Amino acid sequence: MSASSSRKKRQEQAKLPVAETKKQKKKLSQGWIFGICICLIVALMVGGILIYRTVRNNRTVLTVGDHKVSVKEFNYFYNSAANNLSAYASYFGIETGKALDEQYITSNGATYLNMFGFNTEVLTGKEPVEDVYDVTWAQLVASIAKDNAVSAYTIYNAAMADENFEIDEHLQHEIDEQMDVLKGYADTNGESVNSLIKRVFGSGCNESGYRHYLEVVNVAGHYSGLSYSDEEIAARFEKEPEKFTVATYYLYSVTAASFEEEVTEPTDEEGTVTEPTDEEGNVTEPTDEEATESEATEEEAAESEATEEEAAEPEVTEEEAAESEATEEAAEPEASENENEVTEPTEEEETEPSEEEETGPSEEAKQKAEEAAKAMEADFDVDNEKVAIRSDNTRENVTSNVNEEAAAWIFDTAKDGDVKLFENEETNTYYVLKLINKDDYQTLNCLQLYIAADPEELAEGEVPAADKVAKIKAALEADPSEENFRALMEEYDSEPEPLENRTRAYFASASNETLIWSMEEADVGKWTVTESGGATFFFYCTGFGDNYHTVAVRNALNTEWSESAIAAAKEACGYDESVAMTANVGLAFSGN
């Protein structure tokens, strides 16, 4: 081959495409593949659990208006309802340390629920089997929580829609204080607020959710209701004037039974009460030794009598007890076919005095009680320890407290200052009433400063309540201005919210003296102080509010509105018990 031919062949080969060289891939080991698969599975499981919990916690338990109450929000209402129930756990037969969703309501528990005023709607249409309902305590608590949530959101929604309502600084202060209490618990336990809330209330609950819950319940508790025109108020008053017309009066009451001891003291043959006398016939008091001897003799006599009674009781065998029980059952009268039918007593039963009649007060005791009542009627003593003041009582209240005759006298006949005696023959009680006033009146607007009673042991450096009260009195006597009173309220951490449209009944709840002050002395810039239940209350009048009739009618209208709105909301809430049972219902009451 010539040189030119070789060169030509090399050039043609250079133009040919170069073949790709395949790289050899490295294979992963079986161990790595297995590890990666495990990680992926764990990630998917964790993600799945988180998604499941999120979905579950956000499921809707009930709806109020446009607001859907989720499981996590329902937890707050459930926990609150459970806490209220826990105070009566021993009555209900609820075991401590055992989850509420594992315990069933008994007939005895249902009886106590009704007695204490708890809603037993969840038991409607159900009958106990061997004294046990097929309903857990968790279901009952959830039912109560449902009602509370519906009520709170019905009022809260109305308040938020009311242009005249706002969450003012006083209400915000209450919410913040309640939140601070929870933060204090968290600090004490060395955990975050979110951690504490989740542990106490359940999964999905956190600080922002709990704060919103506090806002809802506090707004619902403070919202005074809708506004009404003068015409609406007047029309409602005319519809039932007896419901809004009230009287304030003094009430003295005395029972014949209170004089029974006097007339049953030891007497001589002539019936005169005998008392120890000396040689000259003067009444003497027993010495300490004689009194001790007498007490010891009485105790010995009582013990001896008890021993004799025990000895007189024969021992009864189980067979004899069963036979006796059967005899008693056989002796019981047969039930009438009509349960409401009244069985007429026999002649023997009619003539035989009842235990009540035998133990009733004697005629002499009745006479003494009547004499005491007549003496009070002749010269009414408002300072007598048996005299009370009844304020803002309606005709129905007076009928209930005394009788119908007294109510008719108060509202139809009596004038301010009039006094009259009434008798209740059924209870052998005498009442003497003195009317103070029954006219419509202006309510008061005021500030209140509260000083709590001292605890059993004062903390180191803590100022005694008496010293606080003395200091406040001195400060107000020196400067009785509203600014100074507010400064004292702040200094002693008293409730900052002003009190508006306070009625006589409100002041009467503090003391009779405060009520009289509100009626006779209160005016702008005036203050008073009173003690009640060991605590001390200072009241400062800032002005006058609406008339009592207006306040009472407005309250009645708002009560009627809220009851109607809540009832309608309950009907439409779409409560899903199965979803509610996914909340934190496994709570258990502690034994403390």
| Domain end among 373, 407, 437 | 437
Query: Which token pair is 148?
Result: 């509370």
Taking alpha carbons only, the member of 488, 494, 519, 484 closest to residue 505 is: 519
CA 37, chain centre distance (Å)? 58
DSSP 454: P
3-state secondary structure of 446: strand
Residues 91 and 213 in one domain: yes
**Same domain? 217 vs 90:** yes
User: Quick one: 384 and 480 in the same domain?
Assistant: no
- The alpha helices in 87-136, defined as continuous H runs, are 89-92, 107-115
Determine the average pLDDT of the residues in 279-292.
Answer: 45
pLDDT of residue 54: 52
Span 296-329, pLDDT tens digits: 444 444 444 444 444 334 344 444 443 444 333 3
Domain boundary among 400, 421, 437: 437
Strand-strand pairing, 247-255 and 429-437: antiparallel
| Helix/strand/coil for 135 | strand
**Are 380 and 529 contained in the same domain?**
no
Measured on CA atoms in the order 150, 154, 160, 166, is the torsion positive or negative?
negative
| 376 plus 472 within the same structural domain | no
Domain assignment present for residue 591? The answer is no
Number of separate domains in the chain: 3
- Does residue 35 come out as left (phi exceeding 0), alpha (psi in the -120 to 50 range) or beta? alpha
Report the pLDDT value the prediction gives residue 592, as an integer from 0 to 100. Answer: 58
Asked whether 418 and 250 are in contact (CB, 8 A), the reply is no
Amino acid symbol at 234: A
Please write the tens of the pLDDT for every residue from 338-388.
333 334 444 444 445 444 445 678 889 999 999 999 999 999 999 999 999
The 3-class SS string of 379-410 reads CCCCCCCCEEEEEEECHHHHHHHCCHHHHHHH
Same domain, 65 and 146: yes
Q: Is residue 235 one of the residues assigned to a domain? A: no
Tell me the pLDDT of the chain averaged across its residues.
Answer: 82
At residue 420, the pLDDT reads 97
Residue 214 covered by a domain: yes
Give CA–CA dist 244/237, Å, rounded.
7
Judge whether 243 and 384 are in contact, CB under 8 Å. Answer: no
pLDDT of the residue at 315: 43
Would you state the torsion angle of the CA atoms of residues 379, 382, 383, 387, taken in this order, to the nearest 10 degrees?
A: 100
> 69 and 208 share a domain?
yes
For residues 450 and 429, state if they share a domain.
no
* pLDDT winner (highest mean) among 52-61, 168-177, 361-370, 434-443: 434-443
Confidence of residue 533 (pLDDT cuts 50, 70, 90): confident
Please name the residues in contact with 486: beta carbons below 8 A apart, sequence gap of 6 or more.
Answer: 447
Q: Which residue has the tokens 């407290």?
A: 401
The string of pLDDT tens digits covering residues 185-229 is: 999 999 999 999 999 999 899 999 999 999 999 999 999 889 999
Q: What confidence tens digit (pLDDT) does each residue in 72-114 have?
A: 999 999 999 999 999 999 999 999 999 999 999 999 999 999 9
Does any domain span residue 463?
Answer: yes
Give a yes or no: residue 12 inside a domain: no
| DSSP secondary structure letters along 564-575 | HHHHHHHHHS--
Task: For residue 158, give both structure tokens.
Answer: 């109305």
Whether 219 and 96 share a structural domain: yes
Q: Which of 375, 404, 437 is the last residue of a domain?
A: 437
pLDDT, position 30: 61
Asked whether the predicted pLDDT for residue 487 surpasses 90, the reply is: yes
Residue 127 is classified by DSSP as -
Looking at residue 451, which CATH number applies to its domain?
3.10.50
pLDDT, average across residues 450-457: 91
Distance CA 575, CA 143 (A): 9
How many angstroms separate the CA atoms of 215 and 226, rounded? Answer: 19
Mean pLDDT of 555-571: 96
Closest CA to 135 of 261, 359, 127, 586: 127
Place of tokens 């999964």: 203
pLDDT of residue 409 exceeding 90, the answer is yes
Mean pLDDT, residues 257-286 taken together: 53
Does any domain span residue 22? no
Closest-CA residue to 216 (of 437, 65, 386, 50): 65
Kindly report, residue by residue over 143-184, the tens digit of the pLDDT.
999 999 999 999 999 999 999 999 988 899 899 999 999 999
What pLDDT score does 397 carry?
Answer: 96
Q: Is residue 57 predicted with pLDDT exceeding 70? A: no
Indicate if 425 and 453 belong to the same structural domain.
no
Q: What's the rounded Cα separation, in Å, for the pair 394 and 242? A: 7
Q: 411: closest CA among 422, 399, 424?
A: 399
The H-assigned helical ranges of 118-226 are: 137-161, 169-189, 193-201, 207-222
Q: Are residues 382 and 482 in the same domain?
A: no
DSSP state of 265: S
- By residue range, what is the domain housing residue 141? 61-225+568-580
Beta bridge partners of 541: 446
CATH code: domain of residue 388: 3.10.50.40
pLDDT at residue 281 tops 90:
no
> 34 exposed, middle or buried (CB, 10 Å; 0-12, 13-18, 19+)?
exposed
Residue 28 pLDDT? 55
- Whether 383 and 265 have beta carbons less than 8 Å apart is answered as no
Q: Report if residue 277 sits inside a domain.
A: no
DSSP 41: H
Which residue type, as a one-letter code, is found at position 521? E
Beta strand pairing call for 429-437 and 419-424? antiparallel
**What are 398's two structure tokens?**
């007076």
**What is the Cα–Cα distance from 532 to 521, expressed in whole angstroms?**
20
The span from the CA of 458 to the CA of 387, in Å, is 36
CB 398 within 8 A of CB 245: no
The helix or strand, by DSSP H or E, that contains position 584, with its residue range, turns out to be none
User: How many whole angstroms separate alpha carbon 114 and alpha carbon 101?
Assistant: 21
Q: Is residue 426 part of a domain?
A: yes
Q: Residue 41: its pLDDT value, please?
A: 57
Residue pair 245/394 in contact by the 8 Å Cβ criterion: yes
Predicted TM-score (pTM) of this structure: 0.70
Question: Do 78 and 160 belong together in one domain?
Answer: yes
Cα 463 to Cα 473: distance, rounded to the nearest angstrom: 15
Q: To which H or E segment does residue 270 belong?
A: none
CA distance 529 to 507: 11
Residue 412 DSSP code: I
